Amino acid sequence: MIDANKPAAEPGHTQILIVEDNLYNFRLMARLLALHGMENCEWLVSGAQVAEPAGSPDLSHGFDLVLMDIYLPREDGYQLLARLRRNPGFAGTPIVAVTADATPDNLRRAREAGFDGFIGKPISPARFPDQVCQLLRGEPVWELG
Protein backbone atom coordinates (compact mmCIF):
# COMPACT_ATOMS: atom_id res chain seq x y z
CA MET A 1 0.00 0.00 0.00
CA ILE A 2 1.15 3.51 -0.74
CA ASP A 3 2.26 5.32 2.42
CA ALA A 4 1.22 8.97 2.00
CA ASN A 5 3.52 9.97 4.88
CA LYS A 6 6.59 8.41 3.30
CA PRO A 7 8.77 11.07 1.61
CA ALA A 8 9.09 10.67 -2.14
CA ALA A 9 12.38 9.21 -3.30
CA GLU A 10 14.50 11.38 -5.52
CA PRO A 11 15.13 9.85 -8.96
CA GLY A 12 18.87 9.27 -8.43
CA HIS A 13 18.25 7.48 -5.14
CA THR A 14 15.29 5.28 -6.00
CA GLN A 15 15.35 1.53 -5.63
CA ILE A 16 12.98 -0.11 -8.11
CA LEU A 17 12.25 -3.82 -8.30
CA ILE A 18 11.03 -5.01 -11.70
CA VAL A 19 9.47 -8.48 -11.70
CA GLU A 20 9.22 -9.32 -15.41
CA ASP A 21 9.83 -12.58 -17.27
CA ASN A 22 10.53 -10.93 -20.63
CA LEU A 23 14.10 -9.63 -21.01
CA TYR A 24 13.10 -7.13 -23.70
CA ASN A 25 10.42 -5.59 -21.46
CA PHE A 26 12.83 -5.36 -18.52
CA ARG A 27 15.53 -3.72 -20.66
CA LEU A 28 13.07 -1.22 -22.07
CA MET A 29 11.79 -0.23 -18.62
CA ALA A 30 15.28 -0.06 -17.11
CA ARG A 31 16.66 2.04 -19.98
CA LEU A 32 13.75 4.48 -19.92
CA LEU A 33 14.15 4.89 -16.18
CA ALA A 34 17.94 5.28 -16.45
CA LEU A 35 17.48 8.08 -18.98
CA HIS A 36 15.56 9.92 -16.25
CA GLY A 37 18.11 9.31 -13.50
CA MET A 38 16.55 6.18 -12.04
CA GLU A 39 19.37 3.68 -12.49
CA ASN A 40 18.86 1.46 -9.45
CA CYS A 41 16.65 -1.24 -10.92
CA GLU A 42 16.76 -4.82 -9.76
CA TRP A 43 15.31 -7.53 -11.99
CA LEU A 44 13.62 -10.77 -11.04
CA VAL A 45 12.16 -13.12 -13.63
CA SER A 46 9.63 -14.76 -11.35
CA GLY A 47 8.02 -14.41 -7.98
CA ALA A 48 9.78 -17.57 -6.86
CA GLN A 49 13.08 -15.66 -6.93
CA VAL A 50 11.85 -13.42 -4.12
CA ALA A 51 11.92 -16.49 -1.86
CA GLU A 52 15.11 -18.05 -3.22
CA PRO A 53 18.20 -16.95 -1.27
CA ALA A 54 20.39 -16.73 -4.39
CA GLY A 55 17.84 -14.66 -6.25
CA SER A 56 16.42 -12.64 -3.40
CA PRO A 57 16.85 -8.90 -3.43
CA ASP A 58 18.27 -7.35 -0.27
CA LEU A 59 15.09 -6.34 1.53
CA SER A 60 16.95 -4.56 4.31
CA HIS A 61 17.18 -1.32 2.32
CA GLY A 62 13.63 -1.52 1.01
CA PHE A 63 12.34 -0.71 -2.42
CA ASP A 64 10.66 2.53 -3.34
CA LEU A 65 8.53 0.85 -6.01
CA VAL A 66 7.77 -2.60 -7.43
CA LEU A 67 6.72 -2.90 -11.09
CA MET A 68 5.29 -6.37 -11.62
CA ASP A 69 4.04 -8.28 -14.61
CA ILE A 70 0.81 -10.14 -13.92
CA TYR A 71 1.60 -13.29 -15.92
CA LEU A 72 4.76 -14.78 -14.47
CA PRO A 73 6.14 -18.30 -14.50
CA ARG A 74 5.18 -20.54 -11.55
CA GLU A 75 3.31 -17.84 -9.64
CA ASP A 76 1.13 -15.11 -11.12
CA GLY A 77 1.31 -11.48 -10.08
CA TYR A 78 -1.76 -11.77 -7.89
CA GLN A 79 -0.25 -14.60 -5.85
CA LEU A 80 3.05 -12.75 -5.58
CA LEU A 81 1.28 -9.54 -4.54
CA ALA A 82 -0.38 -11.36 -1.65
CA ARG A 83 2.97 -12.81 -0.58
CA LEU A 84 4.77 -9.46 -0.79
CA ARG A 85 2.04 -7.78 1.26
CA ARG A 86 2.79 -10.25 4.06
CA ASN A 87 6.55 -9.51 3.86
CA PRO A 88 7.67 -6.70 6.22
CA GLY A 89 10.41 -5.76 3.73
CA PHE A 90 7.72 -4.48 1.37
CA ALA A 91 5.59 -2.63 3.93
CA GLY A 92 4.55 0.71 2.47
CA THR A 93 6.06 -0.08 -0.92
CA PRO A 94 3.79 0.66 -3.88
CA ILE A 95 3.32 -2.44 -6.02
CA VAL A 96 2.09 -1.74 -9.54
CA ALA A 97 0.76 -4.18 -12.13
CA VAL A 98 2.38 -3.81 -15.56
CA THR A 99 0.68 -6.07 -18.07
CA ALA A 100 0.00 -6.64 -21.75
CA ASP A 101 -3.46 -7.90 -20.82
CA ALA A 102 -4.63 -4.33 -20.33
CA THR A 103 -8.39 -4.59 -20.23
CA PRO A 104 -10.93 -2.83 -18.02
CA ASP A 105 -11.64 -6.18 -16.33
CA ASN A 106 -7.98 -6.73 -15.48
CA LEU A 107 -7.62 -3.17 -14.23
CA ARG A 108 -10.63 -3.72 -11.95
CA ARG A 109 -9.23 -7.06 -10.77
CA ALA A 110 -5.85 -5.45 -10.01
CA ARG A 111 -7.56 -2.75 -7.92
CA GLU A 112 -9.58 -5.34 -6.04
CA ALA A 113 -6.48 -7.47 -5.41
CA GLY A 114 -4.71 -4.54 -3.77
CA PHE A 115 -2.27 -3.31 -6.41
CA ASP A 116 -1.36 0.36 -6.02
CA GLY A 117 -1.51 1.09 -9.74
CA PHE A 118 -1.80 -0.35 -13.22
CA ILE A 119 0.22 0.35 -16.37
CA GLY A 120 -0.81 -1.34 -19.60
CA LYS A 121 1.69 -2.66 -22.12
CA PRO A 122 3.05 -1.82 -24.49
CA ILE A 123 4.41 0.86 -22.22
CA SER A 124 4.68 4.31 -23.71
CA PRO A 125 8.30 5.51 -23.81
CA ALA A 126 6.99 9.06 -23.62
CA ARG A 127 4.74 8.42 -20.59
CA PHE A 128 6.44 5.66 -18.62
CA PRO A 129 9.06 7.74 -16.76
CA ASP A 130 6.37 10.28 -15.79
CA GLN A 131 4.09 7.47 -14.60
CA VAL A 132 6.89 6.12 -12.41
CA CYS A 133 7.62 9.60 -11.01
CA GLN A 134 3.91 9.98 -10.19
CA LEU A 135 3.95 6.67 -8.36
CA LEU A 136 7.10 7.63 -6.44
CA ARG A 137 5.33 10.82 -5.30
CA GLY A 138 2.45 8.70 -4.01
CA GLU A 139 0.10 9.68 -6.82
CA PRO A 140 -2.03 6.92 -8.33
CA VAL A 141 -1.58 5.68 -11.89
CA TRP A 142 -4.34 3.50 -13.33
CA GLU A 143 -3.88 3.45 -17.11
CA LEU A 144 -4.75 0.86 -19.71
CA GLY A 145 -2.18 2.19 -22.15
Q: Where are the domains of the chain?
A: 11-137
> How high is the pLDDT of residue 106?
95
Alpha helices (H) in the chain, listed in sequence order: 23-35, 48-51, 77-86, 104-113, 128-136
pLDDT tier at 75, thresholds 50, 70, 90:
confident
| Residues in the chain, total | 145
How high is the mean pLDDT of the chain? 84
CATH for the stretch 11-137: 3.40.50.2300
